[in-house]
A and B are shown apart, each in its own frame.
Chain A
């Protein structure tokens, strides 16, 4: 099977400090891939490299249909079909929930297109559909800044979904959520995976165990191992990395 995303020997050098030391990663169609690893392993940096926020010092990122994307500008990468949800909710607080989604809808994104854009029934239907999916139907006209933390997280996920991406990058999507909300988010992620590939960075091991099929473990800027959660837990190196730092996998 051909991967959607291929990372080849990615290195990132922050003024002499190597945050990534040659990462290789493949993400396949309709896959939910979890990235785990201790703090400072380079998980977020890897997402940053994929979506163009951070430039790799070395290596290639290849995206299906667009070829090599690591030299492209951020908005071009996003247009190519890679959506990114940041760790801290980054939404537009002074716009309403509806407007946040309206801007995120998959559409032509030039100045002229937006000047002449009409709010037709098709767009409305899309937004309604997503609102329902992220459970914010009743908040559509509220300013996004007034939402609860968990709701902001969902709104941001919704903003990514409505772009109809081929690959969704989620950075700690359940941070700050209650138990019920976590579960809902877990199902939402699986639901999403029917339409696109998802790459999730997550710290919460229960969550990972419950919702993951494939897991990639990173440590100190490199991939340590890959496999199912069960396999990974057996891996001695992984145990050492976590236990050696005084942390347990479970």
Chain B
């Protein structure tokens, strides 16, 4: 009798917990949806917003979430999409790749969203890729990345390699010198990027003096800087990630190396990141992106103003924020053109969709679902903003497999 009561009590508690945990917050959702189109219910259409709101990547991703929500709000104020209001379902990827897969699955299967905006790291995208493909969902990925990918279920609104790295290398070769030193964090993006750079240097007459990788989170750069000093390159091409940049630039400056001696061009440092390093440390070094806060167009002025008013005067806008922002507009435009939220129809309608983004016109390239973008090289200023030194004039066609470059043959696969 006594034992039975004890066990029953225990089990009762446990089962309640389990149900609470498993059924979770979507208990309110009617899961057997009768509407035939994804995410549509009455006057609203659901979209997923999936970024890391906690963990190490929250640093960067929270602002993307904010930009996307701002775009959604604006579209809703202007009447919504196909007459429906957009209802964002926000999920936390928690800087953990399986969680991204799990949440993407939840958004597609359980919330039945029309599309997902999300991701930052390549790893999170790779984790979501099979999920969106298997469930025939849609993902808008807003960050520059290493290319070599083109999924029919993903739209890439950040730069691929030929819209950032390749032109940056050409610009450096032309303006700053032939001798390169490559440094990067030890993971997929820097290694792939450097592989491309090495091929390009070979083809365009550059010289490689060294290539070094440090583990993620590495903070002692004295040895690496000694190596750089010994090699005496003209430029340093930097693909370090996150925290490591802070340590690298501080210690580079201490070692007496300034932008006049050896300029560093970085492709992972935007206005947001500069705030955590300090403009004084970075001033004079270069970056390559498709958007800077300082771009002088009325659309951008408006965008920066609205963003600051909404989220805080001290904040800055940067390339990924802009790409996340206009991704929502591109999707809305594609839906309007397709006249439906259906993924296949939206995809079919997407080719050539064009919107006026804060940084200029952007256009979807239907053949690989990337975006046409203008390339810009900038110099970091003391105040933490970036001054544009050069741009490509016209938008550059995205080429994730670098098929348009002879020297890149054989890079994209073992064949």
The answer to whether A and B touch directly, with their CB atoms under 8 angstroms apart, is no
